[in-house]
Structure 1
């Protein structure tokens, strides 16, 4: 249990700032319906944020995971210096290329009316990319306070800039058109201030991490770099394939859907908002990954680490099941919110959120399973799994989006992550067997889906809001009771949970 307790502590230290920063950003994104009545207005922002993850994978090319892997052996300072020189040089080169081909990229992404979005995007990616190794070093050296401060400060700056421009300055300009602010404030392109806020947050984060950059010695060990690249280059394929699976539907939506331009943008804006609700699950998954990756590598040298990995998976799946129930059982609350603020256009499509949330749980399980190829130096196997998932995603998106619109995109995402999870499990058990509690975990997942369907049926029979909330709470309580009973032996040994539940 000591390994689980250590991981839980690390997840708390590194996960809380990640959850806090992502949740603050998530709330800011959810504010879009408050500011823009029509979903089509936000389609360009959805498009930009579908491109950024692809470029982040390209700009960082697996160096973060490689740093954790190779910091377990050899000179850590030489490793950090070599990889930092590589990252800074490549980031400058890639950013210049982005700016040179700005107009071409804008046309390809249906952003030809706003090429400035590409410039802002390039700035965001530049500062985020060169901060990657600094954050990895803080995690590897177990310096959570500095890590947390840098993460949260960037998001707070982002939110502050957006509030200032879309709140205070916007109101001021309404009554002072001839003022200096009135002449520079772009009333017709308010969505751009989300990107400006993001850029300001990324710059502040870079400034906070300046000590990590000043400690870089510009020395480059070519032999070490080649060794690291041999390990890391399959991770680029994994990352790119992962982004195809995660972002492709939003990236190509306007190109494959057979609708007029404005309607296509409306659909994309709606799908982007639906996805933001579903990825509440991935906030927790990302927090877990921040702690789990260095933890898994550090545990790999110990006796029988597979037993620890199996227990980690069990608690991870249980946590994901709770997140799924929370989102799916209370999904109507989002609809009531949009109804209350008189933005009915945003209520469309909320019924597909549980499908996306379940798909993201499969993605989280896949992340856990992926430790087999990272520890056994079979990263190309992970690349092939991800590429196969990417092919499936592309085919399903092209086939289903024109017929089912964003439901088709959701089915494609769900199918891809289910496929990757199953294939990774089968291959992992051959090359790096881990005694996962397979039957129990499948039972938990099937059960929460059944509880959601029961709630859906009950609400269909009696569409009363108080009945809706009451039955949702009862079903969530039932699952909580079941876990407490079934996992009593494990939970009793946990220092805080055990005392609370089994006094």
Structure 2
């Protein structure tokens, strides 16, 4: 249990800044919905849907590879080699994107806004160069600086956003602000993001300048063989997460203006579902290096099984916090336009789907430890195929609700297949029956609460029932796992 408590500590240290950054970013998105209409928000949703795909291409799995190879070779040599590789490839790809800004803008259906594509390219450029410095901080166990830089970066972005969207319009007639163009609108979101990403490199100055121009070709070849399948995994994951918003306007049969309005509603409600993504991301930040380090221990597989159980319990609780209190979250996204609330029905679907994705992340350790990354790539590609086919099929008929169910089914498929293959190639004694029970318990509580909510008993009654449902879940899971919780708190094995 001591190792699991260590993971909990790492999740707090490395995850807290991620939670803070993602939560502040989430608040920032809510601010956008309060000043931009759904069709305007739809434009920026299109741009941000493309960024994660490009991030995968730019980083090509080097972060995970760094954690893997740092245990097998000289750390300084590895850092130098990977930093050089990343700098050269990032520079080339950024130039190509800027040169192709016009066709990219046409593909994203924001023709005439090539400047948006250019700012997007610079955002990715700065973010990519910060990847390995951040990984180095995690690997060296320097959580304080990691936290400080992450939080300072998002705060910097927020300050620039406030400056461009609130302060500048108030001084539009001042000669000092003659450069400000109010019609640029959502474009200032990209500029603020770009500046925040640039300052992240400034805050990471020592780590950025720590590498030397010493390149080990053989080591680079070994890393590339391990990393390339992770690129496929990354692309597949981004397809599953982002493709629905990226192709929504291309698949929907609605008139052009209605497409963007629905996309804006979809994007805003997707942000609510991402509340649980914040928790999962925090867990992954601590879990990835932890899992690799634990692989050397004889009882590592039992540790993975216990981690899975605790993760599922925690994920179920977060799911209920999101799903049982939709009326609270509705207030956050409807400040500008009540039409955003029309998409609340997809939030529980996407949230439970994301729980499945988190379980899949736990399960995926089997192919990373057995060097079967291509198998992981095949699983992800199969999930991506499901996402593509179901979105093309369902969006014209069911709109964003169909897209939400496509995401749910995709992640459920990936979770089950990874579990079955993992038990074949790297058996871990997961308590599958209890994991399934916890998921069904959380789902059942939500279904009962949804029925009560449909009776419209009053807002306070709905919230009271939500608290009762959450309390029941915590009581049942706490009682069933009272032995492990007691050992965890007392640091017993």
Contact 1:491 1:497 in 2 (8 A): no
Give 1:334 shift: 2.6
Distance 2:171 2:431 in 1: 59
- 1:325 aligned residue: 320
Matched, 1:268 2:263: yes
Task: Output the CA distance in 2 between the equivalents of 1:468 and 1:281.
Answer: 21
Q: CA, structure 1 residues 497+273, in 2 after alignment: closer, same or farther (shift >3 Å)?
A: farther
Q: Which residue of 2 aligns with 1:41?
A: 40
State the Cα distance separating 1:495 from its structure 2 match. Answer: 3.4
Where in structure 2 are the equivalents of 1:324-473 lying within 5 Å? 324-337=319-332, 341=335, 343-473=337-467
CA contact (8 A) 2:4 2:303 kept: yes
Distance, in Å, in 2 between the alignment partners of 1:493 and 1:411 is 39
The offset of 1:150, in angstroms, is 1.1
2:254 to 237, 256, 259: 259
Match of 2:24 in 1: 24
Q: Distance in 1 between matches of 2:331 and 2:240?
A: 31
Using a 3 Å threshold, how does the CA distance of structure 1 residues 274 and 480 change in structure 2: closer, same or farther?
same
Counterpart of 1:2 in structure 2 is: 2
Deviation at 1:97, TM superposition (A): 0.4
Question: Partner residue of 2:226?
Answer: 231
For 2:174 and 2:190, locate their aligned partners in 1 and report how far apart those are by CA, in whole Å. Answer: 26
- Equivalent residue number for residue 284 of structure 1: 279
Alignment partner of 1:214 is 2:209: yes
Aligned 1:95-244 pairs, distance under 5 A: 95-173=94-172, 177=173, 179-181=175-177, 183-244=178-239
RMSD: 1.4
Q: How far apart are 1:336 and its partner, in Å?
A: 4.1
What is the TM-score of this pair, normalised by structure 2? 0.98
Residue 462 of structure 1 and its aligned partner are, at CA, apart by: 3.3
Deviations, residues 72-95 of structure 1 (Å, cap 9, x unaligned) = 112111011011110000000000
Q: With the length of structure 1 as denominator, give the TM-score of the two structures.
A: 0.96
How far does the alpha carbon of each residue in 1:216-247 deviate from its partner, in whole angstroms, 9 at most, with x for none?
A: 11111111111111111000000001111110
Deviations 1:395-415 (A, max 9, x none): 001000011110111011111
How many pairs are equivalent? 492
- Distance in 2 between the 1:497 and 1:42 partners? 49
Shift of 1:342: 6.0
SS in structure 2 at match of 1:145: helix
Question: For each residue in 1:357-384, what CA deviation from the matched residue of structure 2 results, as whole angstroms up to 9, or x when unmatched?
Answer: 0000001111110000000000000000
* Distance in structure 2 (CA, Å) of the matches to 1:388 and 1:267: 27
CA distance in 2, matches of 1:354, 1:312: 24
In structure 1, runs of 5+ residues without a counterpart are 499-503
Any gaps of 5 or more consecutive residues in structure 2?
none
Counterpart position of 1:66: 65
Q: Deviations over 1:321-373 (max 9, x none)?
A: 0110000000122334556x462111111011000000000011111100000
Contact 2:51–2:120 under 8 Å retained in 1: yes
Matched with 2:305 is 310
